[in-house]
């Protein structure tokens, strides 16, 4: 079994756009509304109000490049390519 690695960025919960849409999503869940309003559905990428969308939306792809040299392997992240709202980057290894 091999190891796989990935890089995940996280957007702050203080992001105004995120806060606005998360309030709408939570209100829909509390009111048992079956479908999100169009703008909020587009923001979360789903028309169904589900709690998991709150955390999933905070994750964002971090562009990285494979690095290999002298029997070494890893990732390179170009800082200027990181989305501006990212406040934390996580490196995840799975077996």
User: What total of structural domains would you count in the chain?
Assistant: 1
pLDDT tens per residue across span 43-87? 888 999 999 898 888 888 888 888 899 998 888 999 999 888 888
Buried (b) or exposed (e) across 80-89, using 16+ Cβ within 10 A? eeeeeebeee
Alpha helices in the chain (DSSP H): 16-30, 38-44, 52-58
Between 92 and 25, the more confident residue is: 25
- Which residues span the domain enclosing 51? 4-94
- Split at pLDDT 50, 70, 90, the class of 23 is very high
3-state helix, strand, coil in the chain (%, to 5): 35, 30, 35
Predicted pLDDT of residue 63:
87
Phi then psi dihedrals of residue 2, to 5 deg: -100, 175
Q: How many helices (H) and strands (E) does the chain have?
A: 3, 5
**pTM greater than 0.75:** no
């Amino acid at each position: 079994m091999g190891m796989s690695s990935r890089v995940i960025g996280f957007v702050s919960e203080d992001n105004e756009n995120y806060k606005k849409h998360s309030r709408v999503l939570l209100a829909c869940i509390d009111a048992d509304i079956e479908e999100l309003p169009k703008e909020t559905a587009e923001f979360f990428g789903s028309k169904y109000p589900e709690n998991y969308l709150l955390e999933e939306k905070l994750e964002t792809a971090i562009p990285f490049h494979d690095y290999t040299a002298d029997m070494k392997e890893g990732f390179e992240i170009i800082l200027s390519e990181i989305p501006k709202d990212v406040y934390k980057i996580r490196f995840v290894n799975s077996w």
